[in-house]
Structure 1
Amino acid sequence: MNKLLVASMISATMLMTGCASIIKGSTQTLTFTSVPDSAKIEIKNRAGQSVHVGQTPTTVSLKKGAGYFKPEEYQITFSKDGFTPKTVTVKGTVSGWYFGNIIFGGLIGLLAVDPATGAMYSFTPEDINAVLDANNTEKMPKNDKALAVLLTDQVPEDVMARAIQIKK
């Protein structure tokens, strides 16, 4: 009788869970870094709701699903004074562990548990690094002793019109 009870409990457990839910779970931890460091980061979900605001580097745990058979998608915006903001999209894709339901999770895991919890998805890459470009639209400080090196395409047209070419 005890063997039958143990076998029944194991079978019920296998049928009531999904393989990806067991192995990977419904959330995933992602690491966000930027060049330069200390950039502001804002993460918005597919509905446009802000789910995290912070500063790089940071590690955030994000939900992988947005509904039944619907992967979550996040817009991550990096910004810092003096730099052009950059937005990166991270979207869930079907995880290989989801197909483990064929062996371990059965139809319940394949059609109910993993799709409902979002465990069937994963985010790649897990480390997101944004390189912010310097913003060249800032005005130069008014200081007679300042030295600035600019490429000619970064110099405003009215200043270039007054420039004198130096010949050897």
Structure 2
Amino acid sequence: MKLKGMVAAIGVASVMTLSGCASIVGDKEQAITINSTPSQADVVITDERSMDVFEGKTPTTVTLRKADGSYFGGKSYTVNISKDGFEDRTVAISSSPNGWYVAGNLVFGGFVGWLIVDPLTGSMYSLSPDEINASMGESVATAEDGSQALNIVLVQDVPQELRSDMKLLGQL
């Protein structure tokens, strides 16, 4: 019975010294959800080296790496969302140390995990934001004729004080 307890204690001590808390409970990748209003917008994600890592349409969920493979190297991404007739949106995704890395290695004494295992695996990082909800703005159809422009908007979007200046151009 005493031998069993000793073997268990050695096993627990080995796990604590040979791994990091973030590596035990975390992943090397993280899912990021991207939505837009309106949907079916084009999405291009580039990393910190300006390499395209994803192209698709909203809504989508993308799995991104949290570390760049170097020692203490967290990843960062730029998400570009675009759709014809709407304003483009750009969102930055950055990595930062997560709670399992900071608190877990402090509480459980994972010195090896803190300085070696977690920084190398990337499990110590969390990507933020993990959900993007981009509003593309309102669609505005514009036709230009010389110096004049015609903007088509919904009547309810015109401020009340400007409605008296409106002119009816035709009826359907």
Question: TM-score, normalised to structure 1's length?
Answer: 0.76
List aligned pairs for 1:26-41, cutoff 5 A: 26-41=28-43
Matching of residue 69 in structure 1 with residue 111 in structure 2: no
Amino acid in structure 2 at the alignment position of 1:70: G
How many residue pairs align between the two structures?
148
Task: State the partner residue of 2:48.
Answer: 46
Task: State the partner residue of 2:59.
Answer: 57
Q: Structure 1 runs of 4+ off > 6 angstroms?
A: none
CA contact (8 A) 1:18 1:105 kept: no
Matching of residue 24 in structure 1 with residue 26 in structure 2: yes
One of 96, 118, 127 as aligned partner of 1:114: 118
Q: How many angstroms apart in 2 are the aligned matches of 1:60 and 1:148?
A: 36
- Say which SS state the counterpart of residue 70 (structure 1) adopts: coil
Q: CA-atom RMSD, angstroms?
A: 2.6
Task: State the partner residue of 2:161.
Answer: none
The runs of 5 or more residues in structure 1 that have no matched partner are: 141-146, 152-164
- Say which SS state the counterpart of residue 43 (structure 2) adopts: strand
Displacement of 1:83 in angstroms is: 1.6
CA contact (8 A) 2:101 2:114 kept: yes
Q: How many angstroms apart in 1 are the aligned matches of 2:93 and 2:62?
A: 13
CA contact (8 A) 2:76 2:93 kept: yes
Q: CA distance change for structure 1 residues 60 and 105 in 2, over 3 Å: closer, same or farther?
A: farther
- Say which SS state the counterpart of residue 25 (structure 1) adopts: coil
Displacement of 1:138 in angstroms is: 4.4
CA contact (8 A) 2:23 2:117 kept: yes
CA contact (8 A) 1:18 1:104 kept: no
Instruction: Report Cα offsets for 1:88-122 as digits up to 9, x if no partner.
Output: 10101121111211223611110011111121111
Question: TM-score, normalised to structure 2's length?
Answer: 0.75
- Say which SS state the counterpart of residue 137 (structure 2) adopts: coil
Task: State the partner residue of 1:103.
Answer: 107
Q: CA distance change for structure 1 residues 8 and 137 in 2, over 3 Å: closer, same or farther?
A: same
Identity over aligned residues, as a percent? 39
- Say which SS state the counterpart of residue 111 (structure 1) adopts: helix
CA contact (8 A) 1:17 1:105 kept: no
Q: CA distance change for structure 1 residues 126 and 33 in 2, over 3 Å: closer, same or farther?
A: same
The runs of 5 or more residues in structure 2 that have no matched partner are: 145-150, 156-164, 168-172
Q: How many angstroms apart in 2 are the aligned matches of 1:123 and 1:15?
A: 26
Select the structure that is richer in strand: 2
CA contact (8 A) 2:141 2:152 kept: no
